[in-house]
Structure 1
């Protein structure tokens, strides 16, 4: 009787271990206009990469860029906020995951403009583009380059 209980407990622990061992998916709040289709495609990219997305349709997404310290010259069509960092535009999920893992003293990331070939801006053309890190002091530098 006792050995059956221990066996069942061990099996339950093995089955629950992988489920309980995974960290919760990062949650990203996305502030976008009701009229932007590429924002929805970027959100799908994030979800397929393991993020939980909370979408907020707002009248002026640029208000959230400004509120989170991303300069206007690094602006795009939507702003995300994840773990205290702003994510402006079509930043790849891998870059966001790297940002969260490295935890730099920064305001966030930006893929300025709407680069063709970036997540959500799929099409026949893929332009090279940089993802920019906006540091806590307001300076910026290249965080990653995409071809």
Structure 2
């Protein structure tokens, strides 16, 4: 059996599309529609409340979710599902990648979360410029003509 998709490995209706689709019909259809609408409503409310910090919100969600969903979970599921068939070097390298990426993901989530939940509101427009030019907009008059 191939473990390209963990969902396929755990699907009890594999190979029977009608049985799989039956879960999404009848009373379950209402439940799924309401759940999806509720999730969208919650996400819209959160983005409206954090509209001034949307970039920080996107950074925080990206830092945490992408690390977990694209790196950690696939490796952990692969190792869990086929631990007996995987070579030792693959187990060791996979475990090292999980530990390192977990640590880096925590660090990035912490730093982006700090910006989102405890922002420093400096009034400096251009913090990387020399102190005398931090609030001065440079305008090249010859470029406009």
| TM-score, scaled relative to structure 1 | 0.22
| TM-score, scaled relative to structure 2 | 0.22
1 or 2 for the larger relative contact order (CA 8 Å, sep ≥6)? 2
Structure (1 or 2) with the larger CA radius of gyration: 2
Which structure has more helix as a fraction of its residues?
2
